[in-house]
Amino acid sequence: MTVQLSGLPTDVQDAVAGTRARVAALHAELPRWELVVWTAGNVSERVPGADLFVIKPSGVSYDELAPELMVVCDLQGDKIDDGTGAHLQPSSDTAAHAYVYRHMAHVGGVVHTHSTYATAWAARGEPIPCVLTMMADEFGGDVPVGPFALIGDDSIGRGIVETLQGSHSPAVLMRNHGPFTVGKDARAAVKAAVLCEEVARTVHIARQLGEPTRIPPADIEKLFDRYQNVYGQPARQEEQHA
Ligand SMILES: O=C(CO)[C@@H](O)[C@@H](O)COP(=O)(O)O
């Protein structure tokens, strides 16, 4: 039987409303940072305290996205009776997002784009080598490549999870497709998507002039640890561990 949002406890309904607002607002970051063309990207976030997540409706222009249009799904990726009406179907990548939420408990947000430089690396099936301190900071090493997988079932999600397990990286380049990123929340996943495109572009440019030099693994670990645990304002650091 389909879950009815209006029948859930008030605190869950309030949590859904807050998640819808955040996810709707974060979609504006995708065109802002030139990570998408047309509607080719999506953001989702887990609803705190519920086995639900919120994701963009498929094919809807970013200009039209509003909190009340965000689709609410269970962790199997099935839309609940969320008040958006039957005409609004969730993103075509919903199954992939749902698989990540079911298999990566620490992940609270997922983003998918087709950003140009990261997607070019995905087309070549080549990991982005860790040759920049920004890569060590955010990705803790190379940005890995996941397998080619067709959209529509658990294949992409399984490829994301299997590739990211054992990696510090919050980004994976799905072969012949494009980047997927994860984070503790949707904002962290959007940040990872922005920085993934930035380093993909920089390393691509560096490669035009010669072979960039890799950062030694011990230094990568030091940089990653500092950035993940020291960078930013103390208050934000506490938030990060909240
Ligand atoms: O890559 C694809 C389709 O192949 C999707 O990620 C992209 O078009 C975005 O689709 P949605 O608008 O989220 O359904």
Q: Give the residue-averaged pLDDT of 84-101.
A: 95
Of the pLDDT bands very low, low, confident and very high (cuts 50, 70, 90), residue 234 is confident
Token pair listed for 34? 């030139």
Strand 171-174's sheet: what is its strand order? 71-74, 52-55, 42-46, 109-112, 178-183, 171-174, 145-146
Give the whole-angstrom CA distance, residue 140 versus residue 40: 27
Token pair listed for 112? 């998918």
Point out the ligand 1 atom lying closest to the alpha carbon of residue 92: 14
Residues in the ligand 1 pocket, defined by CB under 6 Å:
39-40, 42, 56, 58-59, 91-93, 112, 151
Query: Could you tell me the distance, in angstroms and rounded to a whole number, from the CA of residue 31 to the centre of ligand 1?
Result: 14
Cα–Cα distance list, 62 to 23, 75, 137, 157 (Å): 11, 24, 30, 24
- State which H helix or E strand residue 172 sits in: strand 171-174
Residue 98 in this model has a pLDDT that exceeds 50: yes
Residue 205 in this model has a pLDDT that exceeds 50: yes
Of the pLDDT bands very low, low, confident and very high (cuts 50, 70, 90), residue 105 is very high
Q: Give the residue-averaged pLDDT of 70-82.
A: 97
Of the pLDDT bands very low, low, confident and very high (cuts 50, 70, 90), residue 237 is low
Query: Could you tell me the distance, in angstroms and rounded to a whole number, from the CA of residue 225 to the centre of ligand 1?
Result: 34
- Protein residue with its CA nearest to atom 4 in ligand 1: 151
List, in order of start, the domains of the chain with CATH numbers: 5-230 (3.40.225.10)
pLDDT tens column, 151-162:
989 999 999 999
pLDDT tens column, 170-186:
999 999 999 999 999 99
Instruction: Give pTM, 2 decimals.
Output: 0.95
Give the whole-angstrom CA distance, residue 144 versus residue 117: 14
pLDDT in the model for residue 242: 47
Give the whole-angstrom CA distance, residue 133 versus residue 222: 10
ipTM over 0.90 threshold: yes
pLDDT in the model for residue 2: 86
Could you give the angle at which helices 186-209 and 10-27 cross, rounded to 10 degrees? 20
- Protein residue with its CA nearest to atom 7 in ligand 1: 40
Residue 26 in this model has a pLDDT that exceeds 50: yes
- State which H helix or E strand residue 74 sits in: strand 71-74
Mutate to test the pocket of ligand 1, among 26, 30, 42, 116 (most ligand atoms within 8 A of CB): 42
pLDDT in the model for residue 77: 97
Point out the ligand 1 atom lying closest to the alpha carbon of residue 42: 13
Residue type at 124 in one-letter notation: R
> With the C-alpha atoms ordered 177, 55, 88, 154, is the resulting torsion angle positive or negative?
positive
Query: Could you tell me the distance, in angstroms and rounded to a whole number, from the CA of residue 58 to the centre of ligand 1?
Result: 7
Mutate to test the pocket of ligand 1, among 23, 91, 175 (most ligand atoms within 8 A of CB): 91
The percent of residues in the chain predicted with pLDDT above 90, rounded, is: 93
> Mean pLDDT of all residues in the chain?
96
Residue 32 in this model has a pLDDT that exceeds 90: yes
Query: Could you tell me the distance, in angstroms and rounded to a whole number, from the CA of residue 141 to the centre of ligand 1?
Result: 28
